[in-house]
Homo-oligomer: A and B are copies of this chain.
């Protein structure tokens, strides 16, 4: 079908992943072909997930799309779940990339503006890629292994948010905020060393709220209740900024 398009998209994505320094090590022609085909499989699978969701991803459909035997896929991914895991990592990276971009494009702006910009960007990406969002923040798929490989990609978005939080900490620390219990305090201290635990706890709560809002909207729980969702979401960000004392 759109073989060439898929190849292009895939290689472009691959470029993003290893930062473009792959051309320096062409290795053998076979290795290059392998990387290319691996990327094609992922690209086709990504399209399929975007179209019908994770549960509808079929290895045989991917193999048909690429014009190869279904058994050949197993030369590249040991199982369907492995392919799905690769897509999950990609989605984590995509969401992290979106957040980083939004944050960078607002460099120099006050923390509140950066927080709002990142939140809006993440929501926009989620609305544009609902199935990939669900892949990451929805219910874990079949056997839900949650491999540790995803960790480094998963922390990108939280790093951005916690970075903004840390920068805003002096302002936040001025407002009255309940102190967490000791057990929680030490864990907060471990997450962002040097930051007052009560501030980190607030930040994680707002992070949960952010994804709660996006998930509820995306999974249809606002269906008949809230229609102007842009305005509603923006007001929620205003509320969040208010609770951090960033609006004064």
Q: Which residue numbers of A lie inside 8 Å of B, CB to CB? A: 52-56, 134-135, 137-142, 144, 146, 151, 154, 177-178, 180-181, 183-184, 187, 191, 201-202, 204-206, 208-213, 215-216, 219-221, 223-228, 231-232, 234-236, 238-240, 242-243, 247
- Alpha-carbon distance between A208 and B204 when the two chains are bound, in angstroms: 14
State how many angstroms separate the Cβ of A181 from the closest Cβ of chain B.
Answer: 5
- A216 near B211 (CB under 8 angstroms)? yes
- Tell me which residues across on chain B come within 8 A of A134, comparing CB atoms: 139-140
- Alpha-carbon distance between A234 and B219 when the two chains are bound, in angstroms: 26
Closest B residue to A236 by beta carbon equals B205
- Alpha-carbon distance between A201 and B229 when the two chains are bound, in angstroms: 12
- Tell me which residues across on chain B come within 8 A of A141, comparing CB atoms: 55
28 sampled A-B residue pairs with Cβ under 8 A: A52-B142, A53-B142, A55-B55, A56-B142, A134-B139, A138-B138, A138-B139, A138-B219, A139-B139, A144-B219, A144-B220, A146-B220, A146-B223, A154-B221, A178-B235, A178-B242, A180-B231, A180-B238, A181-B231, A183-B228, A187-B225, A187-B228, A205-B209, A205-B236, A205-B239, A208-B216, A211-B212, A212-B212
- Tell me which residues across on chain B come within 8 A of A205, comparing CB atoms: 209, 213, 236, 239-240
State how many angstroms separate the Cβ of A214 from the closest Cβ of chain B.
Answer: 9
| Given A184-B231, A228-B183, also A242-B55 (CB < 8 A) | no
State how many angstroms separate the Cβ of A187 from the closest Cβ of chain B.
Answer: 6
| Given A187-B227, A191-B225, also A235-B201 (CB < 8 A) | yes
Give the contacting residue for A212; candidates B209, B219, B239, B240; CB below 8 A. B209
- Tell me which residues across on chain B come within 8 A of A191, comparing CB atoms: 225
- Alpha-carbon distance between A146 and B135 when the two chains are bound, in angstroms: 19
- Excluding A139-B219, A206-B209, 20 further A-B contacts by CB distance (< 8 Å) are A137-B215, A137-B221, A138-B219, A144-B220, A177-B242, A178-B239, A181-B231, A181-B234, A181-B235, A184-B228, A184-B232, A187-B226, A201-B232, A205-B209, A205-B213, A208-B213, A208-B216, A208-B236, A212-B212, A243-B243
